[in-house]
């Protein structure tokens, strides 16, 4: 079956959204707290190490090697934050979807055991997608779709880089609806960020020079990223569960036994 053929079974976007929202709301305090901490740490790290480059570099300097390296490192750190949040939210939302109790200690333990693999996955994804973006935008979008459930696979199935191939296999036949879902979530995230930026532009976070304060921009970016990443991560987790139900024949409640 190729991607132009109709899916064998409906993905059920409305049901996915409902399950993802339900899991997010039921444990919002834990999800948003961890998401905010992770993104704030990444944003402050970028500000502390690369702040001078990010906020003072002129556009004509973007071709210089150190600037390109700085931008890539910033992209890497933010992507790592996204991967960590997605991994954590996957564990929380999958438990919520299966009506299992909150086990914070187990979540952090699983996250700690997966950290090295999550870092390696981040480096691989950033490197390949950066090359794809330089070539054309379309290959990068395609990779984003076929690897959309790689992080849940890594933490739930306890795999390594094979999660990329496994994600490609699970999404086969469902990539068009997944692409539509990704586009919708991305647009919603951008609208939220643009709205926040407009409020800043109205004068909420100006410093004494009547210019945007780099520190406030960094803090706003961390808050906005954490708020938008949590729903995205919850949807990713439930998407993985649904694909397992369709292709793997394993429901969420049985996955703990299968992959224990």
Name the pLDDT band for 248 (thresholds 50, 70, 90): low
Which of the residue ranges 74-88, 117-131, 186-200, 231-245 would you say has the lowest mean pLDDT?
Answer: 186-200
- Here the tokens at position 245 are 């139900």
Residue ranges per structural domain of the chain: 13-259
The model carries a pTM of 0.83
Evaluate whether 92 touches 31 at the Cβ level (below 8 Å): yes
d(CA 17, CA 3): 22
Kindly give, in sequence order, each residue whose CB lies less than 8 Å from that of residue 226, ignoring residues fewer than 6 positions away.
32, 35, 36, 38, 39, 40, 85
Kindly give, in sequence order, each residue whose CB lies less than 8 Å from that of residue 137, ignoring residues fewer than 6 positions away.
none
Q: Per-residue pLDDT for 168 more than 60? A: yes
Q: Rank 46-50, 86-90, 135-139 by mean pLDDT and report only the highest.
A: 86-90
Residue 173's region, left for phi above 0, alpha for psi from -120 to 50, else beta, is left
Note the pLDDT of residue 72.
78
Note the pLDDT of residue 238.
94
Q: Per-residue pLDDT for 76 more than 80? A: yes
Note the pLDDT of residue 240.
94
Note the pLDDT of residue 195.
67
Note the pLDDT of residue 116.
95
Query: HSE of 132 in the Cβ direction (CA atoms, 13 Å)?
Result: 14
d(CA 31, CA 18): 17
Q: Per-residue pLDDT for 252 more than 70? A: no
Per-residue model confidence as pLDDT tens digits over 194-224: 666 555 555 544 445 555 566 677 777 788 8
Note the pLDDT of residue 258.
46
Residue 207's region, left for phi above 0, alpha for psi from -120 to 50, else beta, is beta
pLDDT, mean of residues 95-104: 89
Evaluate whether 47 touches 119 at the Cβ level (below 8 Å): no
Q: Which of 53, 56, 50 is nearest to 77 (CA)?
A: 50
Compute how many other C-beta atoms are within 10 angstroms of the C-beta atom of residue 242: 24
Relative orientation angle of helices 65-97 and 214-243, to the nearest 10 degrees: 50
Percent of the chain with pLDDT over 70: 74
The chain-wide mean pLDDT, for the chain, equals: 80
Q: Per-residue pLDDT for 64 more than 70? A: no
- Find the length of the chain: 260
């Amino acid at each position: 079956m190729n991607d132009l053929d109709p899916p064998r079974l409906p993905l059920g976007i409305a049901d996915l959204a409902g399950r993802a929202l339900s899991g997010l709301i039921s444990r919002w305090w834990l999800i948003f707290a961890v998401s905010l901490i992770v993104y704030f740490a990444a944003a402050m790290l970028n500000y502390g190490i690369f702040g001078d480059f990010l906020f003072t570099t002129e556009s004509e300097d973007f071709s210089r090697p150190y600037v390109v390296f700085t931008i890539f490192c910033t992209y890497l750190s933010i992507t790592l934050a996204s991967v960590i949040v997605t991994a954590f939210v996957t564990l929380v939302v999958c438990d919520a979807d299966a009506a299992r109790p909150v086990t914070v200690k187990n979540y952090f333990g699983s996250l700690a055991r997966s950290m090295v693999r999550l870092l390696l996955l981040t480096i691989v994804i950033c490197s390949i997608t950066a090359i794809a973006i330089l070539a054309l935008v379309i290959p990068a979008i395609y990779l984003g779709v076929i690897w959309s459930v790689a992080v849940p696979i890594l933490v739930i199935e306890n795999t390594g880089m094979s999660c990329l191939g496994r994600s490609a296999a699970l999404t086969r036949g469902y990539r068009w609806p997944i692409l539509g879902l990704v586009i919708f979530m991305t647009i919603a995230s951008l609208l939220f960020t643009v709205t926040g930026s407009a409020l800043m532009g109205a004068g909420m976070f100006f410093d004494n020079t009547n210019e945007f304060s780099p520190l406030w921009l960094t803090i706003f970016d961390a808050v906005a990223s954490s708020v938008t990443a949590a729903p995205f991560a919850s949807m990713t987790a439930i998407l993985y569960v649904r694909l397992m139900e369709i292709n793997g024949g394993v429901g969420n409640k049985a996955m703990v036994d299968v992959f224990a």
